[in-house]
Structure 1
Amino acid sequence: MSATGIGAARRSGRRILSAIVGLAALALGIFAFGPSPSQAATPLTTKATLIVTGFDASVAEANGYRVVTSSDGTATVVPSTNKPNDLSNGVPIPAGLTRAKSGGSVQPNNTGYGECGTSWLYFTSSTQYRTGFSINGSYGNAVWRTWQVSKTSTAGSAGDGFNSIMNASSWQEYRAFGLGGTNRRAQVSDGWVLTAFGFTCSTIKPWDTW
């Protein structure tokens, strides 16, 4: 074989070897790192923020707290045992937050004034879901919850209620979905929590499908 032929063969061999090495590296990358994010399974868990939507001084007072208003108009809910002008262990009441009159009903409004916790709803299987929430400790324990879940599937629709008095910073419960069919969907259709400090924390309605 001529020198020219030998050189061409060597160059061709190097190109083939380079291609083989490249394919091997690609294969190793796939096995080492798994599917791309777009190929990864979507997590079933669905979480949503709890936001401050109301305040009732009478609820705070009933649970051992009171409202202190500073000279600049700033209001803070503090333990009743605090001395005058002592704001320690207190939580500021956001300016503009709608306050219920003493003894009035507590209902959330449509505006949020900061985050006060997390809520969730997700299917644990095709026949069961779990829902609940956790309140930031600075707002006090939850003393009441209004919690409704709506459910739909090709078989129909239904709802579950979890309203209850309570005294804890978090709560969750499992519940049977209870509907047959496919395209199953569950969502917190109405969810808000009243805390010992008098704040109302409302969920941004988490949901999940199966």
Structure 2
Amino acid sequence: MTNRFSRRALSITGAAVLTLAVALMPQAALAATPEPAAPETISETAPMVVGGYDAAVAEANGFKIVTHEDGTQESVPVTEAAAAQLQQADQRRAEAQLESAAADPVPGNCGSSWASGSKRANDTVAFSTGFIVFLAAYEHDWRVYANGFISGNYWSTGGAGPSTGSKSWTGAIPGVVGPGIGGVPAYSASASVILVDGTVCYSVGPTFTFG
């Protein structure tokens, strides 16, 4: 009688332990599962290249646009102040090309531009973008687009300068449904910088993908 009771008690105890172990297994597995990694953000750099000239801007800042016999144009300094600015720009260009093996060697290159981004919650794409030009800027227009598989949107800004020749932004673009591609539009007035010598610089269009 005692042996049957002991065996039965042992059986019940064993079943209880097994039930408890099974109940705890999903929680243990969940605790051991690593959290998903943050979306990878890849930054792409593209050159800013000469796309034309604005004679009125050049004249207002001590430069003039000359046309050579072969039809090509060039902005040349008229005043001493303009000549000094141009000399500084040439020095910055040379330094940039020495510092980076990826510097674009195309003749007439005005500087560089970049863009990066990643998908966030609520159909939003976070981005970082900007440009560096070697001469002071007179004005700029800048746009970042994000085209998802289902829908897309864009962000844009503009204004005077900057006199430093460098400008950057971070922000978010809402209403982007699905994975896709984003970046700065290439060779577009919506992503351009006019320098004080009248040179109009266009971005070649850095891009990024998002999931």
TM-score (norm 2): 0.56
Distance 1:209 1:69 in 2: 41
Alpha carbon RMSD of aligned pairs, Å? Answer: 3.2
Q: Which runs of 5+ in 2 are unaligned?
A: 1-39, 88-105
1:195 and 2:195 correspond? yes
SS in 1 for 2:170: strand
Cα distance change on mapping 1:78 and 1:69 into 2, 3 Å: farther
Report how far residue 172 of structure 1 moved: 0.8
Shift, 1:154, TM fit: 3.7
- Indicate the residue corresponding to 2:157 in structure 1: 162
Once the two structures are TM-superposed, the CA of residue 203 in structure 1 deviates from its matched residue by 0.7
1:62 to 60, 63, 88: 60
Does the residue aligned with 2:197 lie in a helix, a strand or coil? coil
The percent identity for this pair of structures is 23
Deviation of residue 151 (structure 1)? Answer: 1.3
Partner of 2:80: 81
Deviation at 1:186, TM superposition (A): 1.4
Is the aligned partner of 1:177 residue 2:173? yes
Answer yes or no: is the 8 Å Cα contact 2:155–2:173 preserved in 1. Answer: no
* Residues 149, 46 of structure 1: alpha-carbon distance in 2 compared, 3 angstrom cutoff: same
CA distance in 2, matches of 1:185, 1:69: 40
What is the CA–CA distance in structure 1 between the aligned matches of 2:209 and 2:84, rounded to whole Å? 44
Pair 1:43–1:55, CA change in 2 (3 A): same
Post-superposition offset of 1:163: 2.1
Aligned-partner SS, 1:163: strand
Residue 69 and residue 48 in structure 1: after superposition, are their counterparts in 2 closer, same or farther (change >3 A)? closer
Which of 182, 187, 202 does residue 186 from structure 1 map onto?
Answer: 182
Structure (1 or 2) with the greater helix fraction: 2
Q: Is the 8 A contact 1:131 1:173 kept in 2?
A: yes
Q: 1:149 aligns with which of 144, 156, 181?
A: 144
Unaligned runs of 5+ in 1: 1-41, 92-111
TM-score normalised per structure 1: 0.56
- Match of 2:43, SS state, is coil
Deviation digits for residues 107-136 of structure 1 (CA, Å, limit 9, x no counterpart) = xxxxx8621100011016644101110002
Note if 1:128 corresponds to 2:126. Answer: yes
What amino acid is the match of 1:54?
G
| Number of aligned residues | 141
1:161 positional shift:
1.2
